Amino acid sequence: MRLTALYLFASFSDFQQGRGSVQMPENYVPAFIFIAVALAIPVVTLAIAKAVRPDNPFGTKLMPYECGVDPEGSARGRYTVRFYIVAILFVVFDVETIFLFPWAVQARTLKAFGFIEMMVFLAILIVGYIWIWKKGALEWV
Amino acid sequence: MPGFHRGDYLLALPMMLLTLFALGVLLIDLLLDRSSKVINAWAAFAGLAFSAAAVHNIQRAFADQAARGEPSSPFFAFSGTLMVDRFAVFFFYLFLAAAAITILMSVRYLEVEDEHHGEYYALILFSVVGMMCMAAGNDLILLFIGLELMAVSTYILVGFLRRDRRSNEAALKYLLLGAFSSGIFAYGLSLLYGLAGSTNLQQISMALGNAMAPGKARVVPAVALVTTAAGLFFKIAAVPFHQWAPDAYEGAPTSITGFMSVAGKASAWALLLRIFLFALGPMRPLYVPILVFVAIATMTGGNLAALTQSNVKRLFAYSSIAHVGYIMLGLIAGTAFLPNPDGIRGILVYLLVYTFMNLGVFGVIASLRRRDIIGDELDDLNGLFFKAPTEAVLMLTFLLSLAGIPPLAGFYGKYFIFLALIESGHYALATLAVIYVAVSAYYYLRVANAMFMRTAGDRVPVTISPGMWAGLAITGAATVVIGIYPEPFLRMVNWSMHVAQNPTVAQLLR
Amino acid sequence: MTVPLSYYLVLSAILFSLGVLAFVVKRNIITVFMSIELMLNAVNLSFVSFAAHWHRLSGQIFVFFVMVVAAAEAAVGLAIIIAVFRTRETLNIDRVNLLKL
């Protein structure tokens, strides 16, 4: 396994034409510091809290908190399938915006041509929207 | 300014028209009540006709090119991402014909299944758009998008009988394995992109030519080749990547099984030929051994598994896997130029005749579907000759053609491929293939035996709708006519093989 | 850029292999689906690192399309999973076995 990894590594490093030895990536030092701080803050806070707080657990206190009402049933119950349909629609329509961002950045250079192409794209999307609307997928129950 | 020209849109017009009609079908369907869903079929049919007219327009441009005495060269559009050459035009016609016949055969079947929705036709049109992108793509991005558009539409179509447990299950298996293979394929594409620094097929071909120069490490090109090829073998259902095909074929609505097995397969082959001939050309010494292994495994696995099937749809799924093995022999025999063009010509002829004969088979199976009977067990065919003699004779024609009996169309597909194999010196492979053709005759005749020699289990007459009659007539006529008078069709294939008269393209393809 | 390209490629290869492994090993359909997403994300990583290496944008554009395709596949996949669940009440892949393998 390790040999395979090394072999892959060696073959991929063919792409590194004429580069020197591998060194510590200095650009990433701020990122490492950031990660360290981000990890340290919760760990330190929790540790201090644990050290100073009084410890007195009892049944009612350990119950899940649901706005003060006693919890009903298990938290791992099934959701209605409606949630899934909304999630599916969200996945599709959410990702379509990925095409809008590059166009938005370059809208000035692309001018009318880009605008028309984008409107065609949106028109196709709107046909899909009308279709799911009329099919009743957006209605609750 | 990335200005596109009017010519670009003319080349994309077949796809644009199909998209428009598909969207139109989706919207019109919302206004139709349950009894008038057949209008959707007509609208989809009109879309296919308009698209065919647009393809004809492109074909005329090639004729003009020839009339001016210029060597045939492909038309590029959208900054070289879309390459419409004669090869692509051939496949455009093939997809449109397959979709049209499928729609003819579907209307009645969907009514029986009680799932007659407009989305069915819209999805067929969308998948044809995807197939066209696969046949005419000259850029990894367009090829991948085309593949996925075709695949995602087909996943839904396979699961179209949403209350049927078998259809659901088939769709799920097809989707999981299809998405898995797309992932592998995409990984291969990413490595190809990394080697070339471009998504353009010609640039990749040139970069691979350099990478294959003696004395260079070939690990990354080899990994790229293996992953790309594995993804493509999944799509054409070659052994050992075939497991999804029998399940998907058995569970899918029968009309869709027919559509997948011809149009889906032809488009996967178009994509495979694009990638293997146009991009991976310099790696031919590496991929031919892989192809030989896969072709032998595919012929063996497909033919032997088909021998014992009791479900007709499953039987023809394995038979179609075996046919993939034969077609693959064409690619082993030669590229479009070296050592001889007969291999690729054989593949095109094979795909052409296979489209008609296999659609015919699944049309007959679909027509057996009634309210109380699924009609896809071998026993359901018992005594068909006594109930519907014309249909039984048509089925026999398709079966004999699939087995490659000489006066029928299927013979020519095998003839050209085996000829090319012998010309290029692959005697052992050719012998093996002929042996497997003989084996395949056994299971085709088993089906014929059930139709002609056994007595029917019931006396309920088989009712065949006018659309189904039209579909069966077209496929039957094509199977017989191509067999008896193949010249115009061979001329058409030769015409589409003229991609390469242009010396610069020929250079790249070498 | 001081992190060499090969690091990204090895990471991408590892992610991809993990995706393939999970696809083969896992039994829950949703998890199998997530492993496919992992494979596609490995592809994306590979594409963006090559795009950065070659200073060309086409790799990044490919990533956009892979993401959209993955979303479309996920949507269709979830829909089919719901249909399967409605007719069978299970998401264990071994119990979806009406068609013999």
Which of the four pLDDT bands, split at 50, 70 and 90, describes residue A6?
A: low
Which of the four pLDDT bands, split at 50, 70 and 90, describes residue B145?
A: very high
Which of the four pLDDT bands, split at 50, 70 and 90, describes residue B219?
A: confident
Q: Return the pLDDT at B353.
A: 92
**Quick one: CA torsion of A36, A39, A40, A44, rounded to 10 degrees?**
-170
Q: Return the pLDDT at A11.
A: 56
pLDDT exceeds cutoff 90 at B130: yes
User: In terms of pLDDT, which residue wins out, B386 or A66?
Assistant: B386
Record the pTM.
Answer: 0.88
Per DSSP, which regions of B377-424 are E strands? none
Packing angle, helices C5-25 and A2-12, rounded to 10:
140
CA distance B225 to chain A (A): 15
Partner residue facing B27 (CB), from A11, A111, A130:
A130
Query: Which residues in chain B touch residue C98, judged by CB atoms under 8 angstroms apart?
Result: 165-166, 169, 251
- Which of B145, B168, B249 should one mutate to test binding to chain C, selecting the residue with the greatest count of C CBs within 10 A? B168
Mean pLDDT across B468-484: 91
Q: Return the pLDDT at B50.
A: 95
Query: Which residues in chain A touch residue C78, judged by CB atoms under 8 angstroms apart?
Result: 84, 87-88, 91
pLDDT exceeds cutoff 90 at A140: no
Partner residue facing A113 (CB), from B3, B194, B223:
B3
CA–CA dist C95, C83 (Å, integer): 15
pLDDT exceeds cutoff 80 at A117: yes
Partner residue facing A16 (CB), from C5, C72, C79:
C5
CB count, 10 Å around CB of B497? 20
Query: Which residues in chain B touch residue C87, judged by CB atoms under 8 angstroms apart?
Result: 163-165, 168
Within a domain: residue C43? yes
Which of the four pLDDT bands, split at 50, 70 and 90, describes residue B502?
A: very low
Residue C17, both tokens = 């292999």
**Quick one: CA torsion of B323, B327, B332, B335, rounded to 10 degrees?**
-170
Q: B77, B8 in Cβ contact below 8 A?
A: yes
Query: Domains of chain A: which residue ranges?
Result: 2-62, 81-135
Q: What residues contact A105, with CB distance under 8 A and at least 6 apart?
A: none
Residue B371, both tokens = 């309210």
Mean pLDDT across A82-99: 84
Q: A110 and B2: CB-CB below 8 Å?
A: yes
Q: A113 and B219: CB-CB below 8 Å?
A: no
Query: Which residues in chain B touch residue A107, judged by CB atoms under 8 angstroms apart?
Result: none
- For residue range B32-80, list pLDDT tens digits in order: 888 888 899 999 999 999 999 999 999 888 888 888 877 777 888 888 8
CA distance C10 to chain A (A): 6
Tell me which chains share at least 3 CB pairs under 8 Å with chain B: A, C
Q: Return the pLDDT at A58.
A: 83
Residue of B350, B342, B329 lying closest to B431 (CA atoms): B329
Which of the four pLDDT bands, split at 50, 70 and 90, describes residue C84?
A: confident
Which residue is listed with tokens 């892979």? C66
Within a domain: residue C45? yes
pLDDT exceeds cutoff 60 at A4: no
Partner residue facing A131 (CB), from B30, B217, B223:
B30
Within a domain: residue C36? yes
pLDDT exceeds cutoff 90 at B467: no
How many structural domains comprise chain C?
1
The H-or-E segment that residue B28 falls in is helix B6-31
Q: B219 and A11: CB-CB below 8 Å?
A: yes
Q: What residues contact B4, with CB distance under 8 A and at least 6 apart?
A: A113, B77, B78, B79
Q: What residues contact C59, with CB distance under 8 A and at least 6 apart?
A: B190, B193, B199, C47, C48, C50, C51
pLDDT exceeds cutoff 50 at B504: no
CA–CA dist A77, A79 (Å, integer): 7
Q: C53 and A15: CB-CB below 8 Å?
A: yes
Q: B23 and A110: CB-CB below 8 Å?
A: no
pLDDT exceeds cutoff 80 at B82: yes
Q: Write out residues 176-205 of B within 8 Å (CB-CB) of C.
A: 176, 179-180, 182-184, 186-187, 189-191, 193-194, 197-199
CA distance B272 to chain A (A): 26
Check which CATH number belongs to the domain holding C53 and give it. 1.10.287.3510
Domain that holds residue C35: 5-88
- For residue range B429-443, list pLDDT tens digits in order: 999 999 999 999 999
Q: Return the pLDDT at B492.
A: 85
The H-or-E segment that residue B75 falls in is strand B75-77
Query: Which residues in chain A touch residue C3, judged by CB atoms under 8 angstroms apart?
Result: 25, 27-28
CA–CA dist A139, B20 (Å, integer): 27
Q: B23 and A124: CB-CB below 8 Å?
A: yes
Q: Return the pLDDT at C18.
A: 95
pLDDT exceeds cutoff 70 at C69: yes
Is the CB of B119 inside 8 Å of chain C's CB atoms? no
The interface pTM score, or ipTM, of the predicted complex is 0.93
pLDDT exceeds cutoff 70 at C12: yes
Is the CB of C83 inside 8 Å of chain A's CB atoms? no
Q: A131 and B19: CB-CB below 8 Å?
A: no
Mean pLDDT across A114-131: 91
pLDDT exceeds cutoff 50 at B509: no
Low-confidence winner among A8-17, B487-496, C31-40 (lowest mean pLDDT): A8-17
Q: Return the pLDDT at A1.
A: 46
Query: Which residues in chain A touch residue C14, judged by CB atoms under 8 angstroms apart?
Result: 5
Mean pLDDT, chain A, integer? 78
Mean pLDDT across C59-88: 89
Greatest mean pLDDT range, A78-82, A89-93, B152-156, B405-409: B152-156
Which of the four pLDDT bands, split at 50, 70 and 90, describes residue A9?
A: low
Give residue B503's region: left, alpha or beta (phi > 0; psi -120 to 50): alpha
- For residue range B356-371, list pLDDT tens digits in order: 999 999 999 888 887 6
Is the CB of B480 inside 8 Å of chain C's CB atoms? no
Is the CB of B308 inside 8 Å of chain C's CB atoms? no
Query: Which residues in chain C touch residue A24, judged by CB atoms under 8 angstroms apart?
Result: 2
Q: Return the pLDDT at B2.
A: 52
Partner residue facing A127 (CB), from B2, B27, B223:
B27
Strand partners for A127: none
- For residue range B307-335, list pLDDT tens digits in order: 988 888 999 999 999 999 999 998 888 76
Q: Write out residues 214-243 of B within 8 Å (CB-CB) of C.
A: 243
